[in-house]
Structure 1
Amino acid sequence: MIAPLRTLIVIAAALALSACVSLLPDTEPSQLYSFGAGMTEDTPTPRSAESFGLILPSTGFARAASGDRILTMTGAEAAYVASARWVAPASVLFEEAVARAFDANTGPARLVTRGEVREAASVLRLDVRQFETVYDRGQGAAPMVVVRVRATLVSRDDRTLAAEDIFQAEIRAGDNRVSQIVSAYDVAVSQVLAELVDWSNRNGAPAA
C-alpha cells in the first residue's frame, strides 16, 4: 500500500535524515539495488594498436543523488524512495560502471592506473548533473529516469580544452515499481556510457 505523502513528510522531518521527503512506489521493504553490472566483459577485450590513456579524476556528482538513496523529483519537490537503497553510493556505482565501460571498449581510449599516469594523453573529467527519477505524469504513473553527464577532455601536455559535451538519456520505467525504475537506470547509464566511450575514442587522442 502507498503511504500518504503527508505522513511520509512528517516521518522524514522527524528523523532529520535530509531535506527531502520519502516517496514509496510498490516495493518490498529494505531492498538493495545496483546498476551498470551488465557492462562487464567475460574475456579481455583486444585493444586497438593506436591506444592512448586517459586520466579519470573523481567524478563530480549531483549532491542530492550521490548517496545510496534513490532520488525522485515531482515538479520542484524532491523525495527519496522509501525502504529501497543502492547497494553502494550512486557516485561509487557510477564510477565502477565507467571503468567497466572502458574495459569493454575495443577502441583506442583506455583509463590508466596510478602507475601509468605518464602514459596518459588527456584528462577526462565527468560531472553527473542529473541522476534522478522524474514523476512527470504524477506519482502513481511510471516515472522517467534521467541521467545527464557533462564531460570534458583536457590535454595533459598544455592543459588546453580538447573537447566537451553533454550526454543525456531519458528512459521511461515500465511501471511505478522499484525493480522497473532500477532497470531504467541500468539502460540509461549504459546508453550514456556507450556514447561517452565512443566520444572519448574520437576526441581523446594526443595531438599529432
Structure 2
Amino acid sequence: MRAIRRVLQSLALAATAVGLSACISLLPEEDPSQLYRFDGVPAADAQQAAATDSFGVLRTGGGFVQSASGDRIMTVTGERVAFISGARWVSPASVLFNDAVMRAFDQNTGPARLVTRGEVRRAEYGLRIDVTRFEVVYDQGEKAAPNIVVALRLSLVNMADRTLAGSKLVETTARADDNRVSAIVRAFDEAVAQVTGQTVAWTNGRGA
C-alpha cells in the first residue's frame, strides 16, 4: 500500500512539473532593449591654445543624480518622471559621463592634464564634478521634440593647502530635432560635449 502511495505521489509531482514548464513556455518573450551611448567630445574651437606649462588635475570624486545614474534614459514631463521604454544606455550614464570627461581632458590642448590615481605625475589640483541634472525634458508637450538638460557643480581645490581655487555651476541644454530616441541620444551627445568642454576650459583658466 505504501509503495502504491509513493508511486502516486511521484506521478503527481511529475505532472505538476510538466504543467509548470508548460506555463512558463507560454509566457511571451520580452523584446531586448535598444542600446545607446554618447561620446560628448567637445568641438575643436572649445579647446585652448597649446600650453607649455601644464599642471596636474586629479578627479576627487563627485556625485551623479541618482535617478538618472543608471542605464535607463530619464524623462521629465511637468512633475512626472518616467523612463523611455525599450531604450537603455550601453553602460550606466554615470560611467559614460566619466568616460566623456576623460576624453575631453585627453584632447585638451590647454595646461590642465588629468592625472589618474597611481600615476607618477603629481596633481596640483583636485577637481570634483557633481552632476545635478541629466534628463530629457518635455517642455513643449509629450509629442514635441524634447530638450536635454545637463547640469554640473564644479569645485577645484589646491592640493598643497586644500584651499578652494574656485567653484562653478554649469548648465546646458540641447533641443532634439525630433521626438525619437536616436534624436534624443544625439542631443545628449551635444549637451555632454558642451558641459565637458566648459569644464575643461574653466579648469584651464582657474588652474593657470
> What is the TM-score normalised by the length of structure 2?
0.79
Identity over the aligned pairs, expressed in percent? 55
Matched residue SS, 1:194: helix
Name the one with the larger helix percent: 2
Residue in 2 that maps onto 1:80: 83
Larger CA Rg, structure 1 vs 2 = 2
Residue in 2 that maps onto 1:127: 130
Residue in 2 that maps onto 1:153: 156
How far is the alpha carbon of 1:30 from its aligned partner?
1.5
Matched, 1:144 2:147: yes
Unaligned runs of 5+ in 1: 1-27
Matched, 1:180 2:192: no
Amino acid at match of 2:193: S
User: Deviation digits for residues 164-197 of structure 1, max 9, x if unmatched?
Assistant: 0011111110010000000000000001111110
Amino acid at match of 2:175: R
Amino acid at match of 2:145: A
How far is the alpha carbon of 1:99 from its aligned partner?
0.2
Provide the aligned length of Structure 1 versus Structure 2: 174
Q: Is the 8 A contact 1:71 1:133 kept in 2?
A: yes
Q: Is the 8 A contact 2:115 2:121 kept in 1?
A: no
How far is the alpha carbon of 1:115 from its aligned partner?
2.3
Q: Is the 8 A contact 2:40 2:194 kept in 1?
A: no
Alignment of 1:61-72 (within 5 A): 61-72=64-75
Q: Which one of the candidate residues 60, 68, 82 is aligned to 2:63?
A: 60
How far is the alpha carbon of 1:113 from its aligned partner?
1.9
> What is the TM-score normalised by the length of structure 1?
0.79
C-alpha RMSD of the superposition: 2.1
User: Deviation digits for residues 26-49 of structure 1, max 9, x if unmatched?
Assistant: xx96210000165699xxxx9632
